[in-house]
Structures are given as structure tokens and as C-alpha cells.
Structure 1
């Protein structure tokens, strides 16, 4: 079972990514096309998973919802890694007052719960998917900066870093050539474990009406739209909820597998 679970996670992630990329071609209908004459229908040959309260095809909306949700999570990942790596590597290499100031800023971000901080950011930036992505990224970058800074401090006294300095490489070149490749494994583990967390944040904020605006398909807003019909058509809530559940599960399984493979302490304990 321990060996099979990583493959299950990798397979689920691959299927989700394929659905997101191929959604415009494999979705049987336009996800925003309304047909009130076909509203709240059950599964049929025309609509494999049925229709919602506006007659829109559920399968098509789920597929395009994967595109919106996974695309937003990918943008969050890119922003978090960019900010965290930049702040952490600069603090670790510079030391002194620069390190102290940057770490106090990190501490300020880390003291506030991430969801509360994201809500505050959205209040300042405004609603919309782009602002939600920025808000989630700004509420999570500090942990990555701390990790990169700690690893940079442990690496900067190594012989090959000293040799690079003697060779005349700038701090930026040392960070790019020697520091970031060395910390990539730890960042991959942390990011893979956080992807599901970000997915839940994104779906929750969209559920509250702060993210994707209707009629765009997104799993969180699909659940919000279906709330009045939960008793009469529970699949309208259960299907996007199951999509979120499977996505979070897939990312967590993949993250656990990466942690087991890339963390030397865990490998030694397993043996």
C-alpha cells in the first residue's frame, strides 16, 4: 500500500492536468451555455452528468473548472516560489541588517493566520481571481523565504561557495548557480504539500464570492450556486466537492511521496 499510494497520487494529478489542458476539446458543451428547458436534468446520453439550475452541462463545467482551479494554483505556486526564493536567498547571503529586516517582515506575515491574511489582502486589492491569487501568494511566501534562508545559511560556508566567490562570481550568480539548485528538492516537497491547501483556499474564497465571478466555471463557485438546490439536486454540490477532494488528495499523496524520496532523514528511518 505504501508503494502504491504515490502512483495513485501521480495518476490522479496526471488525469487532472490532462482534463484541465484538454477541457476546450473534450468538454461536450459550452460550459456557460444556458438552456432553461433542460434545467436540473439527471444523467443522460446528451448530458453525461446532468445539468444545473440554468441547464448548463455539469461535465463541461467540471472540466473547465479544473482548468480555472489548477491554473490559479499554478500561478500561486509561481508567485510564492519567486518571492520566497528571492527574499530567502538575499537574506541568507547578505546577513547582517538586511537579514534581520527581511526576517522580521517574514515574522509579521507568519503571525497572522493565512486565511485571515488572504481576506485582508482581498479587502485591500478587491475581488476577482487575479487578486485572490495574489492574496493567497502573499499570505504564504514567508514560510518559503524562511526555508530558503536557512538552507542558504548552511550552504554559504561550504567550500564550493567560497571557491565561487574567489572566482569573482557575484552574489546573484552564486544564488542562481549554487544556492537555488541545492534547495530545489526541499522546495518541491514543501510546495507539493501546500498545493492542496491552496486549492482549498481558492475554492473557499470563490465560494464566498470573492474569486471567480459567475458564470465562469470554477469548483468553489459551482458549490455556492448549487446551495439552494442541495435537497432536490444534491449532485450539483457533490460533484464539484468530489473534484476538490480528489485534487487535494492527489496533491497530498504526491507530496508525501516526494518527501519520502527527497528527505534523507526519512529515507534512513525507513531503512
Structure 2
């Protein structure tokens, strides 16, 4: 039941993100001061904001921006973490020690603090937010891949492949990465909601996408002065973030229970 509910929620959210240009009834940036702060109606199903923009359209486009950023972060974290972890595990020695000391240094700092540091160094904007979140999370994945690589390196079939002349790259591509895929999927699914909160929170602070872009964190920030007269302008994007994080967490819990119960204590 948990798996089905999680998959249904994720599918709905992904559908909203992918098909936002066709589902949104209005341009999310179209303003009309004559239509500002309208309640829900047949024309504007969720009403309008303080600039007369259609709230439903902005929520749909916000899903596209937020989930698109999380998808890119997922790809970058998996690529960087797998590359560093597999390299450290297969080469060992000085290379392993150096890479793991760097990973340990990244893991000692809270991820949000580290992300803020990188944004301060790189500047604001969604691209830099994606880079900052990637750099603040890759070490956990590198550690996991490195540990599993060391375990797999001692297996007979890996030793046989090395004797047969397979290079370290071939061993990593054919034997190591496919074997750690399940554990990486569990860890990533548990982190998706975490990354979503980072993206929305940093945009709320004005460090990610800039207004008037349609993004859930920006929508909450824009609506704060109007909370008393139109509380739904804050509550709707907040509910969208909550629902998305809940969906990702349910999916992560379901995958963890099925694929790797040993990771139940993971948290950062």
C-alpha cells in the first residue's frame, strides 16, 4: 500500500511538472492588477495573487522548476559520488586516503551550511543552487560506493575479471556500479525530499530563482505580506512542498524496506 501511494503521488507530481505548459490555464507571469487577490472561481480555480497572476498556473510551473532542479541534483550527486567512491575503492592506497579525507571534511559540516557557503562563493541563481546542493551532498554517496567497492573487490568474480585482463574501468562499469545500484537508489530516494526543501528554502531566501519566476519558495516569500488577507497564497505552495516531500519520503521508506533494511539509520 505504501509503495502504491508513493508511486501515485510521485507520478502525479511528475506529470504536473512535465505537462505544466499544457495544463496551466494562464501564463504564470501574466499580471493584471484589476484581478489581484481574487478568490477561487470558474476562471481562476485557485484564485489570483497580489499581482493578479493565476495561482494554479504558478503552482504547476513551480512544480516544473522545483522538481527539475531536484532531478538535475540527483543526476549530478550520483555521478560525482559514484566516480569518487569507485575510484577510491578500486585504486586504494594514497588515492583512497586522499579522496576519503576530502569526503570526511565535507561530511563534518551540516549540508545546508555548506550549501550556503558555496552559494556565497559562487553567487545566487538556480544553477549555483544546484551546484551548491550537489557539492554539499556528494560525499555521502562517495562513502557508500567506496565501502561497497571494497567489499566487491574481494569477490571471486571480480578477481577473475582482473586476472582475465579487465581494466579497473571495466571492473567498475561491469561489476561495481550495477551491484551498488540498489543501495544508491535507496539513499537517493531518501534524500529527494531533503533536496526539495533545500531548493525551496534557498529560493525563499532569494538565493535561487528570482521573482517573478514561478517557484514554490518564491511564491511563499511573495505572499508573506498578504497572509492575513489571502492566507491561501502561502498555504498552497507550502502544501505543494509538503506533499512532494511526503511522496519522496514514502517512496524512500518503501525502497529501503524492500532493498536495504541496513540503511534504516541513515540520516544527515
In the superposition, the TM-score normalised over structure 1's length comes to 0.96
Q: Spell out the pairing of 1:80-119 with structure 2 (5 A cutoff).
A: 80-119=77-116
Give the drift of 1:9.
Answer: 1.1
| 1:269 aligned partner | none
Aligned residue for 1:141, secondary structure, equals helix
Give the drift of 1:264.
Answer: 5.9
- Deviations 1:79-108 (CA, angstroms, capped at 9, x unpaired): 100110000000000111000000000011
- Deviations 1:28-80 (CA, angstroms, capped at 9, x unpaired): 00000001100000000110000000000000000000000000000000110
Change (3 A) 1:163 1:20: same
Aligned residue for 2:47, secondary structure, equals coil
Structure 2 stretches of 5 or more lacking a match?
Answer: 264-268
Give the drift of 1:149.
Answer: 0.3
Q: State how far apart, in whole Å, the 2-side matches of 1:175 and 1:134 are.
A: 25
The answer to whether structure 1 residue 192 and structure 2 residue 189 are counterparts is yes
Q: State how far apart, in whole Å, the 1-side matches of 2:174 and 2:84 are.
A: 17
Change (3 A) 1:125 1:156: same
Structure 1 moving runs of 4+ over 2 Å: none
- Deviations 1:120-169 (CA, angstroms, capped at 9, x unpaired): 00000000000000000100000000000000000001011011111111
Give the drift of 1:252.
Answer: 0.3
The answer to whether structure 1 residue 145 and structure 2 residue 137 are counterparts is no
Q: Spell out the pairing of 1:13-92 with structure 2 (5 A cutoff).
A: 13-92=10-89
Q: State how far apart, in whole Å, the 2-side matches of 1:265 and 1:169 are.
A: 31
Change (3 A) 1:206 1:265: closer
| 1:133 aligned partner | 130
- Deviations 1:189-208 (CA, angstroms, capped at 9, x unpaired): 00000000000011000000
Q: State how far apart, in whole Å, the 1-side matches of 2:45 and 2:261 are.
A: 47
Q: Spell out the pairing of 1:146-165 with structure 2 (5 A cutoff).
A: 146-165=143-162
Structure 1 stretches of 5 or more lacking a match?
Answer: 267-271
The answer to whether structure 1 residue 201 and structure 2 residue 198 are counterparts is yes
Q: State how far apart, in whole Å, the 1-side matches of 2:46 and 2:262 are.
A: 46
The answer to whether structure 1 residue 223 and structure 2 residue 223 are counterparts is no
Aligned residue for 1:61, secondary structure, equals helix
Q: State how far apart, in whole Å, the 2-side matches of 1:147 and 1:176 are.
A: 16
RMSD: 1.1
Q: State how far apart, in whole Å, the 2-side matches of 1:263 and 1:76 are.
A: 23
Q: State how far apart, in whole Å, the 2-side matches of 1:115 and 1:225 are.
A: 22
Which of 228, 236, 251 is residue 239 of structure 1 equivalent to?
236
Q: Spell out the pairing of 1:253-264 with structure 2 (5 A cutoff).
A: 253-263=250-260
Q: State how far apart, in whole Å, the 1-side matches of 2:76 and 2:260 are.
A: 24
Q: State how far apart, in whole Å, the 1-side matches of 2:225 and 2:262 are.
A: 50
The answer to whether structure 1 residue 175 and structure 2 residue 175 are counterparts is no
